[in-house]
């Protein structure tokens, strides 16, 4: 029997067992987790009543982690979810197996398993034959479940893919098709990219896992239109919008990868590594693009363990690009500016509090110290920039004011005139709007 629970999922809703209905999202999500446990209990009780409990294999798992807006503890430390991503907390999920007669309980096993392993495992446990003439990618982990003293070698890697980005992972290291390498045993939030590390174990892991990626078949088009919410979001990003008056569109409209060779978002580009930067900048110049760049990585790369903004991690990310000379591309108008980070105004992104204006100023100072010719800004609604102008002096930075473009919901842009700012220009501009004196 296959029982696909909708629990627990967003949007959160009260459950029949919720003691209170009008509570915050986090409380509702916790209620949904408890109700999922209640439903599993009902199922197990039914097996007991039918006399089937001893010889029924109960498997509980999930297809992805929780929402990125939800922070949980593991073990004892706060971590953000990763649904809709290849992050470790988006794809590394619990697997609970119980059968009193077949599976000895009370054990935790750390050997890697992925969903392709379920068919050969269930076939072995039930004595069913695998279909003839079909290549089975999975590896049976039945011997692990039985607690057998002698068992086959564990699978050397597991695979995941989200849209066009692939990932392979062994017990310790995880390599993306975009080049990033992480030691996920020590760095589960994937904050420290080891792709440029000289550590012998990291180098060996990169070579080993890259060979796996290189040996995988190429992507093919789905035989049917994807219907998930994440697919709808991706499709929306791929539709290039009409250019609004006085604005150059950027984010979140992803243009097809095949057009530029690498994912390119309108006139906004997140550069993942120094190695990637030079090739992209030359491509952008040749195609006469005008781009805003982003260097700080995904939001998790510059957050503390509790989800608040980390100036230290932000600085570390930017310092990795110290050797890239952006000045010629700023001078010729290819690079319009550097977006420090996105949505500092949204408390749900930063452990319940918006990023302080002084912190934004400090982040701008880091960028100007490392890349003095490059204008900087933040991704934020215009109202946040104008209404909260700080009292302090901010003349150390040349800023682009990156604002919403107006009627297009979910879109953003910046005034075309801002793109003409040259080195040292616009010193009375800031990401907060006009300076109070």
Q: What is the DSSP string of 369-433?
A: HHSTTS-EEEE--HHHHHHT--SS--TT--B---B--SSSTT-EEEEGGGGG--TT--TT--TTS
For residues 374 and 321, what is the distance between their CA atoms, to the nearest angstrom?
A: 13
pTM for the whole structure: 0.54
pLDDT band at 239 (very low <50, low <70, confident <90, very high): low
Report pLDDT for 381: 56
Query: For residues 294 and 339, is the Cβ–Cβ distance under 8 A?
Result: yes
User: Mean pLDDT for the chain?
Assistant: 76
Integer Cα distance of 144 and 169 in angstroms: 20
* In the chain, domain spans: 57-215, 246-420
Q: Say how far apart CA 80 and CA 96 lie, in whole Å.
A: 22
Residues 47 and 49: their CA atoms lie apart, in Å, by: 5
Say whether pLDDT at 415 is over 60: no
According to the model, what pLDDT value does residue 6 have?
Answer: 80
Separation CA 1–CA 436 (nearest Å): 66
Q: What angle do CA 164, 167, 170 make, to 5 degrees?
A: 170
Q: 143 and 84 in contact (C-beta within 8 Å)?
A: no
pLDDT at 147 over 60: yes
pLDDT band at 300 (very low <50, low <70, confident <90, very high): confident
Predicted pLDDT at 348: 76
Residues 146, 165 contacting (CB under 8 angstroms): no
pLDDT greater than 60 at residue 298: yes
What is residue 380's predicted lDDT score, i.e. its pLDDT?
65
Q: Measuring CA to CA, how many Å separate 39 from each of 20, 46, 54, 62?
A: 19, 11, 19, 15
The pLDDT of residue 205: 95
Question: What's the DSSP call for residue 346?
Answer: -
């Amino acid at each position: 029997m296959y029982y696909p629970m909708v629990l627990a999922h967003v949007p959160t809703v009260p459950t029949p067992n919720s003691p209170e209905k009008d509570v915050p999202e986090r409380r509702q999500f916790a209620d949904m987790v408890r109700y999922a446990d209640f439903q599993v209990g009902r199922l197990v009780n039914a097996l007991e009543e039918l006399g089937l409990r001893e010889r029924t294999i109960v498997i509980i798992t999930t297809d992805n982690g929780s929402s990125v807006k939800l922070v949980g503890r593991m073990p004892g430390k706060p971590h953000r979810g990763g649904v809709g991503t290849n992050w470790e907390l988006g794809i590394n999920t619990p697997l609970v197996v119980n059968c009193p007669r077949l599976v000895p309980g009370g054990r935790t096993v750390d050997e890697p398993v992925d969903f392709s392993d379920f068919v050969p495992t269930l076939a072995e446990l039930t004595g069913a034959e695998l279909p003839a003439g079909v290549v089975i990618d999975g590896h049976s982990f039945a011997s692990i479940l039985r607690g057998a003293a002698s068992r086959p070698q564990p699978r050397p890697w597991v695979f995941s893919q989200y849209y066009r980005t692939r990932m392979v992972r062994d017990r310790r290291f995880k390599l993306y098709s975009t080049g990033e390498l992480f030691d996920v045993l020590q760095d589960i939030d994937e904050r420290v990219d080891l792709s440029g590390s000289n550590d012998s174990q990291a180098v060996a892991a990169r070579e080993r896992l890259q060979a796996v990626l290189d040996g995988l078949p190429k992507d093919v088009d789905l035989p049917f239109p994807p219907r998930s919410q994440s697919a709808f979001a991706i499709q929306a990003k791929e539709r290039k919008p009409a250019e609004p008056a006085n604005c150059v569109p950027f984010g979140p409209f992803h243009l097809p990868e095949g057009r530029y060779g690498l994912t390119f978002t309108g006139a906004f580009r997140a550069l993942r590594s120094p190695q990637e930067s030079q090739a992209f900048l030359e491509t952008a110049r040749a195609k006469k693009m005008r781009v805003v760049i982003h260097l700080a990585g995904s939001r998790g790369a510059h957050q503390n363990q509790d989800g608040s903004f980390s100036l230290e991690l932000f600085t570390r990310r930017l310092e990795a690009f110290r050797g890239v000379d952006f000045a010629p591309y700023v001078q010729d108008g290819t690079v319009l500016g550097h977006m420090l980070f996105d949505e500092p105004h949204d408390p749900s992104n930063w452990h319940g509090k918006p990023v302080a204006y002084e912190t934004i100023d400090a982040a701008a100072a880091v960028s100007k110290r490392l890349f003095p010719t490059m204008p900087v800004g933040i991704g934020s609604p215009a109202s946040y920039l104008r209404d909260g102008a700080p009292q302090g002096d901010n003349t150390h930075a040349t800023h682009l004011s990156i604002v919403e473009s107006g009627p297009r919901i979910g879109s953003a842009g910046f005034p075309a005139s801002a793109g003409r700012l040259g080195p040292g220009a616009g010193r009375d501009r800031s990401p907060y709007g006009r300076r109070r004196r």
